[in-house]
């Protein structure tokens, strides 16, 4: 039995059921998109927190109209590679959803949601790059913003939200680009990976976060690991997202003192920008790792 969109009071059925009905009512090619797709994929940005309105994407030329409950978007580009189903609900892929969201989010928010999707494994760099090639066209601001955010990921994988935020901040501050997840073999043959590293200077930067470094066992393991790495002649520095959001002046000074190249002009500009944004009331909370969405 299907529930047609609008046939019941919205409080009587789950949002996901009503969203499925909205797609079915608008033909087999209709898909949830934009903010509704972001809700299905549980993305960190783009969900409309103030409204349960359903956004549906249909091919251009379809005569369906928007209603108070359902917003219809028409597109000339919606290939089979950019659509899927999740829990039985037809929806745009994570990659296509990111591109659609890019048109309505700020560049900073696009960076956060792209990083979130890639860290959580909801999509991959090749999949996102492929969707960009299919959907980039004149006037598609979303594709441009996503392409810019994706540039960071062409340099190698990152394993946490904290690492991505710290690395973006370092590069904006004019710090020379570090290696990522560099493997180091210590004296007893154990192998460790460094979050960020400048191997020519034997400088490592470990990015600590509450999610990955909380608890006595983890703290003890971190201490032993860093001692072993230091015994191989590495200088191990540590930082947190909170530190770079406060300006990171001490971190930049430590990196420069260790011989890592830092552009003074860009570092000063980054510090000024950080100090300005820290005064604003709408601070962005640190993103913590979320599991992939469960089937509906």
Residue 228, in any domain of the structure: yes
Cβ atoms 38, 46 nearer than 8 A: yes
Q: Do the Cβ atoms of 143 and 131 come closer than 8 Å?
A: no
Q: Which of 155, 190, 217 is the last residue of a domain?
A: 155
**Are 166 and 187 part of one and the same domain?**
yes
Question: How many structural domains does the chain have?
Answer: 2
247 plus 142 within the same structural domain: no
The answer as to whether 290 is a domain residue is: no
Same domain, 146 and 167: no
Instruction: Find the length of the chain.
Output: 296
| Same-domain check for residues 131 and 171 | no
Residue 283 belongs to a domain: no
In a shared domain, residues 44 and 139: yes
Ramachandran quadrant class, 103 (left: phi over 0; alpha: psi -120 to 50; beta: rest): alpha
Report if residue 71 sits inside a domain.
yes
DSSP label at residue 281: S
Same domain, 132 and 181: no
The whole-number pLDDT of residue 5 equals 46
What is the model's pTM? 0.83
Quick one: 183 and 127 in the same domain?
A: no
Between CA 33 and CA 153 the distance in angstroms is 24
Per-residue pLDDT of the chain (296 residues; tens, 9 = 90+): 344 445 545 567 888 999 999 999 988 889 999 999 999 999 988 887 556 889 999 988 777 888 888 989 888 888 899 999 998 999 999 999 999 999 889 999 999 999 999 999 999 999 999 999 998 876 577 899 999 999 999 999 899 999 999 999 999 999 999 999 999 999 999 999 999 999 999 999 999 986 665 667 777 888 899 999 999 999 999 999 999 999 999 999 999 999 999 988 888 777 766 665 555 434 445 555 566 676 55
> Tokens 């059925």 label which residue?
13
pLDDT (0 to 100) of residue 200: 95
288 assigned to some structural domain: no
Q: What is the CATH number of the domain that holds 260?
A: 3.40.960.10
Round to whole Å and give the CA distance between 296 and 285.
Answer: 27
What is the span of the domain harbouring residue 116?
A: 15-155
- DSSP state string for 95-124: HHHHHHHHTTS-HHHHHHHHHHHHHTTSS-
pLDDT of residue 255: 96
Q: Are residues 37 and 106 in the same domain?
A: yes
Regarding whether 167 and 150 lie in a shared domain, the answer is no
84 domain-assigned: yes
- Give the CATH number for residue 92: 3.30.460
Is 1 within a domain?
no
Whether residue 4 is contained in a domain is answered as no
Asked if 157 contacts 198 with a C-beta cutoff of 8 angstroms, the reply is no
In the listed set 104, 127, 155, which residue is the last one of a domain according to the structure? 155
Does residue 89 share a domain with residue 218?
A: no
Looking at 129, 155, 181, the residue that finishes a domain is: 155
55 and 119 in a common domain: yes
Same domain, 181 and 229: yes
What is the reported pLDDT for 119?
95
């Amino acid at each position: 039995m299907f529930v047609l969109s609008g046939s019941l009071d919205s409080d009587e059925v789950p949002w996901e059921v009503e969203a499925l009905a909205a797609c079915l009512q608008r033909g087999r090619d209709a898909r949830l998109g934009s903010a509704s797709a972001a809700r299905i994929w549980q993305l960190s940005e783009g969900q409309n927190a103030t409204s349960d309105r359903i956004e549906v994407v249909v091919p251009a030329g379809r005569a369906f109209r928007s209603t108070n409950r359902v917003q219809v978007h028409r597109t000339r580009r919606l290939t089979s590679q950019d659509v899927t189903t999740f829990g039985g609900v037809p929806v745009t892929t994570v990659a296509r959803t990111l591109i659609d969201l890019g048109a309505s989010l700020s560049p900073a928010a696009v960076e956060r949601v792209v990083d979130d999707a890639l860290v959580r494994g909801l999509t991959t760099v090749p999949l996102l790059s492929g969707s960009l090639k299919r959907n980039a066209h004149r006037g598609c601001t979303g594709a441009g913003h996503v392409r810019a955010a994706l540039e960071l990921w062409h340099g190698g994988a990152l394993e946490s939200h904290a690492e991505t935020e710290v690395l973006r901040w370092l590069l904006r501050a004019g710090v020379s680009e570090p290696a990522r997840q560099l493997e180091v073999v210590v004296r007893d043959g154990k192998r460790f990976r460094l979050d960020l590293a400048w191997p020519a200077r034997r400088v490592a930067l470990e990015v600590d976060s509450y999610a990955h470094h909380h608890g006595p066992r983890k703290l003890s393991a971190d201490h032993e690991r860093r001692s072993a790495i230091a015994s191989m002649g590495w200088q191990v520095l540590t930082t947190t997202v909170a530190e770079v959001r406060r300006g990171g002046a001490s971190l930049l000074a430590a990196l420069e003192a260790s011989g890592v190249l830092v552009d003074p002009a860009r570092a000063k500009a980054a510090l000024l920008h950080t100090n300005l944004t820290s005064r604003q009331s709408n601070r962005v909370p640190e993103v913590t790792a979320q599991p992939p969405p469960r089937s509906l």
